Amino acid sequence: MDPTVDPAVKSFVPVAPESHFPLQNLPYGMFSPTPRDEPRAGTRIGDFVLDLAVIQNAGLLDAAGLPEGIFSHYVLNPFMELDPVQRRAVRLLIHGLLRAEEPTLRDDTALRGRALLPADSVTMQFPVGIPDYTDFYASREHATNVGIMFRGKDNALMPNWLHLPVGYHGRASSVILSGQDVTRPSGQTLPPEQETPVFGPCKLMDFELEMGFLIGTPNRLGEPVSADNAEDNIFGLVLVNDWSARDIQKWEYQPLGPFTAKNFATSISPWIVTLEALAPFRCASPEQDPAPLPYLQESNRGTFDINLDVHIQAEDDDEALRVSESNFKYLYWTMAQQLAHHTVSGCNLSTGDLLASGTISGPEKTNYGSMLEISWRGTEPVTLPGGGERKFLHDGDTVTMSAWCQGDGYRIGFGEVTGKILPAIGTQRAGNR
């Protein structure tokens, strides 16, 4: 067993069983000790953030042979592009420093005070420079639900869907950090029974429950990555809310797909969870029929058992309503297949590129990953704790997503990705919904 995921090993830092950040996780993120400080890299342990720049400057990571100051950059990219073997060596050293029986950091009061900071006292920063962003459509249940709504049950899946992981290139500049507000977009829509479009605020604002993975090791232009080797190129995973303007999308997406309906905001969680931390939670992926073409076939096909949930809270409500409980394991197309298909043309991926799964829905209504499905295109509204109904999202609503793997007495989690809907530009004073 990889010693860094042994559940029997404890940290000298107290960690509650329900915490997303035990010693077995050790995700990477960027933070500032105070809002005035420059960003630096850290890892999360319980209710504390370990400052990796301080640890490196103290010489405690020298055995990994890291470049000087690699954890003092504005983003994690210089660390992400290192050889995976070197990154694993860093993980092992950090794990060793935090073990309950290791005195180096535990008993050095001065160093511990500089390196271990209360998580609620720091400011989380955007963790990675994202050169490019690709969004897939990898959930069969989601694709089927949407197809039934718009094309009928007999034509729910398009002819290509079972043969390749459908995707499109998104907008990297509008990927934002959890906690940042999202302004309702405006655009063209085609009202029912009309032949010409109108311009105005989106009326069918939605969330999309997704997971994303970030590229560590890049591939060269013209050199595809095989499905069996794809995970060697993945640095880690984040939780994603790919906000969607359904009415704008319906009008604009033909024939080239989403554009302004998706480019206004995509929220990600601040902590990047590595494949090493997720390894104990590997599980089977859905069987594929028909069998995909050889370049998409995997010798050891599998995925990860990651619980997902979504809550909506109205601005005037004291409580949130859980509207979805899904799981990453439902995805028909795996991360390895998505990466292999992305690069089969010879496309070169760069360190920091974000590839998202598309909406993750499961077989039951409680597993649906968007309001489009939960309210079934607005025909089945949900009732919030304060009595308000929701077919789609209103201004002032806060959407909070969470993700975690459940172990025996511990969790490996991603924390949360959250965002509040603000009125469209030009309507904010009027409080337009």
Active site residues: 142
Report d(CA 244, CA 384) in Å as an integer.
21
Residue with tokens 């590839």: 355
- DSSP label of 329: G
Q: How many helices (H) and strands (E) does the chain have?
A: 10, 25
Place of tokens 């005070």: 113
- CA separation, residue 239 to residues 114, 263, 279, 285 (Å): 29, 18, 17, 19
Distance CA 200, CA 69 (A): 48
What are the backbone dihedrals phi and psi of residue 260, each rounded to the nearest 5 degrees, phi first? -70, -20
What is the rounded distance in angstroms from the CA atom of residue 278 to the CA atom of residue 80? 17
Which residues are CB-neighbours of 57 under 8 A, at least 6 positions away? none
Q: Yes or no: say if 189 and 280 are a contact pair by the CB < 8 Å rule.
A: no
Distance CA 371, CA 209 (A): 10
Which DSSP helix (H) or strand (E) runs through 95? helix 84-98
Q: What is the C-alpha separation between 38 and 278, in angstroms, rounded? A: 30
Beta strand extents in 148-252 (DSSP E only) = 167-169, 175-177, 182-183, 186-189, 198-201, 205-206, 209-215, 234-241, 244-245
Pairing of strands 123-125, 205-206: unpaired
